[in-house]
Structure formats: C-alpha cells, structure tokens
A and B are shown apart, each in its own frame.
Chain A
Amino acid sequence: MTARRLIRFGSLGYLALILVAPVGLIFWRAFEHGWHPFWVAISNPDAVHALKLTLEVTLVAVPLNTVFGVLCGLAIVRHRMPGMGLVNALVDLPMALSPVVVGLSLYLLYGRQGWFGPWLTDHGVRVLFAYPGILLATTFVSLPFVVREVVPVLREIGTEQEEAAATLGARAFTTFRRITLPAIRWAVAYGVVLTTARSLGEFGAVAIVSGGIAGRTQTLTQYVQASYDNYSQTSAYAAAVLLAGLAILTLLLMTKLRPREEVHGNRGA
C-alpha cells in the first residue's frame, strides 16, 4: 500500500509542480484583474494579427504534413526499397534537431547569401521575414508526428486485408481509400492533433526566419515574448493564455479520440 501511495502522490505531485502550477499561474495572472484587461489585451491589432498568422501557418502546415506523413508511412512500411531505412531515420531529424538549428539552416538556404536566396529574390519571391519562411520552419519541425503515429499501425494491420481487396478486384487507390485509410484513421487523427499542437507552439525556428515584425511577421508565440520584453505583462499573459487555450483544446480533442480508438481496437481483436 505504501509503495502504491508513494507512486500516486509522487506522480501527482510531480505533475502539479512541473505542469499545473506554471500553467495555472499564467491563467491566474491573466485574469487577475478580471475579464476586461484580458479582453483589451487580446483585441490589440498586433495580437489579433499574430493569432491570425499562427492559425494561417498551422492550417497549411498540418494538411501538408498529414498527406506527406501518410505517404511516407506507406513507403516505409509497404515498399521495401533501398534507401527506405535512411528515410525512416531522416523523418526523426526534426525531433532530434534543436529548432534554432532548423531556423539557422533555412536562413543559410534562403538568405541573401544562401543557395536559393538570390535566385528567388530575382524572381520576386520572398521567403525569409515573410509567410513562406514561417511556413517552412513550422512544417519542418512538425513533420514527424503523423509518420510516427501511422508507421506502427500500418505494421500491425499487415498486408492481408490489402491483398484480399486486390484479389476482389480493387485497384490500388480503391484499396487505399476503402481499406488502408479506414484502418489507420485514428492514428492519422492522433498525428494531426500532435502536429497541430506543435505548429501552434513553434517558437525557435520561426524566431530566426520570421523577423518578428509586429503586425506583419509576428506569430503568437513571438508576440508573447515581445510583449514580455516590453514589460507589457498583461498582453504577454493574455496571449499566453490564448496559446495555452488552443493547446488545451487540441489536447481535449485528442483525449476524445483516444477512447474511441481503444474501443475500435477491442472490436478488431
């Protein structure tokens, strides 16, 4: 009993100290003087713009990484080709690499002295300090999640159902749409949620490539930092609450998906 109690209190205490206290404190500070200051802070045009930019980036990065993630998962699991081991390892790179390094590498590629920079500038395309750069950085760091969720599930379901579909006359795409995709749908959904959370919260890589110009290239995370640096703490807390709120929303979505996934798993057993 004592061991069990130790585990329970130990884990809960740890969570409270490391997770709940800091996040709770943010909420408390944001609403310290009621709703009004919070509302004023987040209806500031720069804050609204930052929120919009973050959502715009997320709404492109997530579908991109979802489609790529599913295709990449299929390639890794279903097609034994030379080089697939390398792809498998490369997919994890964004997890291992610090976002600052990612930002820096984009800078080196697309900067004025970079490999693609001059050519793109000549053709009127601006990557750094603009939307494309922010999108590239966000897509890079949120790339692994769908792949990592989809690969083990694809391995587990095996190829028999797909082979059965083939002998029943279904073409490859029909098999994918009617057999493979439904079988991996919860893994994809889970990956989408994680990708979304990561995209919303990205800071390091974007900080380097966006320039963080208020009202133009500033994302919500950068807005929080800028506000904090300018001693406008109410704005910082309010925007942080907004970010935390979005994150909690995606987490809730995820926990809503999970039990259904388990029910589905039992049904399949």
Chain B
Amino acid sequence: MAIEARNVTKRFGDFVALDDVSIEVESGSLTALLGPSGSGKSTLLRVIAGLERADAGDVFISGKEATALAPQKRGVGFVFQHYAPFKHMTVWENVAFGLSSRKRPKAEIAKRVDELLELVQLKGLGKRYPSQLSGGQRQRMALARALAPEPEVLLLDEPFGALDARVRVELREWLLRLHDEMHVTTIFVTHDQEEALELADSIVVMNKGRVEQIAPPRQLYDEPANEFVMSFVGPVNKLGDAWVRPHDIELRHEPNGSTREAQIERVVRLGFETRVDLVRDDGERLHVQLTRDEADQLELDAGDIVYLRTRHERTFTA
C-alpha cells in the first residue's frame, strides 16, 4: 500500500470532519475522494499531507508510519485548490522551490525544472509571474512545482474546481496521460462524480465525515452500497422505494402488464441521447434516457401517456 489511513478522526470544535475513516490506496493508482462539500474529503487529504494533525488514528505512507511526521518529511506533493502560487516568484522559481530549498546543486535544479516545464507544456513561460498565466497554466505550474522534488505521493485538492468547463475537460485528459507516464500514486479530491468516474481507478465516496464505499468506478455505478452512493454517483430516479437509473427504464405506449403509468411532460433531444421528462399521478417526476433511434421509433410527444418497465431496480434496506 502506498497510502493508508487507519481509523482517522478529526474534529474542528464541535464539527466532526472525519469520523473513524480508514482507506487504503494502492501504489501507482489514481484514487478519487468523492463527496459533497463538508463530507471531509479535503480534510482527509490534508491529514495525509500532514497539514492537519488527526485527533485519533494513524497514517502510513509507503509502509512507514507518518502520523506524527511534519509535512516536509512525508515525501508528498500537494496541489492546492487555488494552486497557492508563490506570487513574488517567476514560474521557473516556483517550480525550482522544492529543490532549491533542499539545497540541490544548481545544475541539477536547472535540468529538472526545464524538464518539468516541458512536461507541463509551460516551456518558454518560465520568466513569467503566476499572475500572467491563465487558470489552466497556473494549475500546471502548481503540478510541476509539486512534482519537482519527486514525491512518492501526489495529492490534488479539487484540481479542476476553479477552471472553466472546456479547460477542465482538456486538463483531465492531460492529467490522465501524465499519470500513465509518471506512475506516481495520486489522490485527488472532487465533488464532481463525472470527474471521478472518468479519471480514477478507485473511488472513495465520502459523506458527513464517513466513508460510504470504496470501489472501482464501474462497480460503484453498478453496485452502489447504499442509497447515498446510488444517488450521488450517476443520475437516478426514485420509484416509490426503488431506485432506477434513467437508462434502465423502458417506455411503451401499451401497458403490457406494467402497472406504472406516467405522462410525458417534455421530450428533450440532446444529439445522440433523448431525455424524456415524465410526471406520475402522485406528482413524482422521472427522467428517462433513450437513444435517438428508440425515441424516434416510439414517436413520443408531450402529453402522451406511457407505461414504464425497469431493467435494474434497486432497493436498499436502511
């Protein structure tokens, strides 16, 4: 295991940020800490980095006990949500900081910084100040800075949170390629389930300071452990006590034995996919996802009455 947190508890006054949390992160993996705000995911990341001291529990990094170790000695690279650039230093000096503060030879520093700037596609921007960079460039600078001292573990706090949508998608793909090349164990924090599903090998779903489930993306989506995971990861409908994904519902014009009836409120065509908004007698609303061909065949229109049949329906015992 590259990283292990055992029974970690952290309180801020009366607020319990982490409540007996245990996770294991495999060496070389890309793990997401996923959860709504206030779920404790950033606190857990900061405890692993040594920026917060846990009230109880232990942290192991690369098999070594790190619970009481200062952040300087953990061999951890950390990228802050707003990148925390050193504003008075150039991009080059920012990236060099981890090496120059360890008093490495000048030639070695220069070589490594140039390599990293090339890797994060900031070659030629080394003399600029952080304020002269775009959000995406600043993010990559922060990443290069964190990677410079060759950390065993890379921790990213909401790495794409402060970027606009297009840049975010580009950077995601880029980070994935980077991770494939570098193979440094990486944990990133996100509240965006799509981001977690796309990037991570393993997802830790957190809620109210507790771990709800740890699983690979596909398993998390197909076999959620409880209602929270089901509703937080992926789109979902509630049919009475049962939960159904929008793409697991079939629509028919005739009952065919189905007792579930609903009226079409709206048909939204989104390219390949068509979304049908339904309302049931009891006022419950549903979204159904169909391919364009399916929708065309059914000739659905607003106001139509349709009958529902579900493929994977799920109920959880509380």
Contact = CB atoms under 8 A, between A and B. Distances in A.
B307 interface: no
Interface residues of A, number: 20
A161 B86 contact: yes
A161 B84 contact: yes
B86 A169 contact: no
Interface in A72-125: none
Interface in A142-184: 160-161, 163-171, 174, 178-179, 182-183
Given A160-B80, A269-B131, A166 B72 contact: yes
Contact of A183 (B71, B87, B98, B131): B87
B70 interface: yes
A39 B231 CA distance: 87
B78 A164 contact: yes
Interface string B138-149: 000000011011
Given A160-B82, A163-B84, A183-B88, A168 B146 contact: yes
A169 B85 CA distance: 16
A268 interface: yes
Contacts of B77: 167-168
Contacts of A179: 86
A4 interface: no
Nearest to B96: A168
B51 A167 contact: yes
B131 A268 contact: yes
Interface in A176-199: 178-179, 182-183
Nearest to A179: B86
Contacts, number: 68
Query: Mostly helix, strand, loop or mixed at chain A's interface?
Result: helix
B97 A166 contact: no
Contact of B71 (A161, A167, A182, A267): A167
B56 to A, nearest CB: 21
Which 5 A-B pairs give the minimum distances between C-beta atoms? Answer: A168-B98, A160-B84, A170-B101, A167-B78, A164-B84
Given A164-B78, A168-B146, 9 more contacts: A166-B70, A167-B49, A167-B71, A168-B97, A168-B101, A169-B102, A170-B72, A183-B87, A268-B87
Interface of B: 49-51, 70-72, 74, 76-78, 80, 82, 84-88, 97-98, 101-102, 129, 131, 145-146, 148-149
26 contacts: A160-B82, A161-B86, A161-B87, A163-B51, A163-B71, A164-B86, A165-B101, A166-B50, A166-B51, A166-B70, A167-B72, A167-B74, A167-B77, A168-B77, A168-B148, A170-B72, A170-B101, A174-B101, A178-B101, A182-B88, A183-B87, A183-B88, A264-B88, A267-B87, A267-B129, A267-B131
